[in-house]
Structure 1
Amino acid sequence: MTMSGAQVQVGAVQAAWDQASILRSLDQPSAWPALSERVATAAALYGAGELSRGTLWLIGGALHLVGGGRLGGEGFAEQFTRTLMDKIGQWGDVVEPSDLPMVRRVVTAVFDGRDPVAWRDSAGPVPDSEPRAMTCALALIADFVDHVDGPGAADCGLLSALSRAID
Structure 2
Amino acid sequence: MTRVAVGAVQAAWDQASVLRSGDDPGRIPALGERIAAATATHGTGELLRGTIVLLCGALDQIGAGRPGGEQFAQRFIDTLMNKIVRQWSGYVEPSDLPMVRHVVAVAFAGRDAVAWREQTGPAPDSERIAMTCALALTADFVDHVNGPGVCEHRLLTALGGALD
Fold shared per TM-score above 0.5: yes
Alignment-derived partner of residue 15 in structure 1: 11
Match of 1:104 in 2: 101
CA drift of 1:163 comes to 2.7
Aligned residue among 127, 132, 135 for 1:130: 127
SS at match of 2:54: helix
Q: Which amino acid aligns with 1:147?
A: H
1:159 paired with 2:153, answer no
Counterpart for residue 24 of structure 1:
20
Paired with 2:3 and 2:124, the residues of 1 have a C-alpha distance of 21
Partners of 2:105 and 2:163 in 1: CA distance: 26
Q: Flag the structure with more relative contact order, 1 or 2, with Cα contacts below 8 A and sequence separation at least 6.
A: 2
Is residue 12–residue 50 contact of structure 1 (8 Å, CA) maintained in 2? yes
TM-score between the two structures when normalised by the length of structure 1:
0.93
Partner residue in 1 for 2:47: 51
Per-residue deviation at 1:72?
A: 6.0
Q: Which structure 2 segments of 5+ residues have no match? A: none
Deviations 1:33-62 (A, max 9, x none): 111111011011111111111001101111
Q: How many residues align?
A: 163
Partner of 2:34: helix, strand, or coil? helix
Shift of residue 165, structure 1, vs aligned partner:
3.5
Pick closer, same or farther for the CA change 1:166–1:50 going to 2, 3 Å: closer
Deviation at 1:135, TM superposition (A): 0.3
Identity of aligned residues (%): 63
Contact 1:19 1:39 in 2 (8 A): yes
**Number of the residue aligned with 1:60:** 56
Q: Which has the higher helix share?
A: 2
How does the TM-score come out when normalised to structure 2? 0.94
Structure 1 runs (4+) deviating above 3 angstroms are: 69-72, 164-167
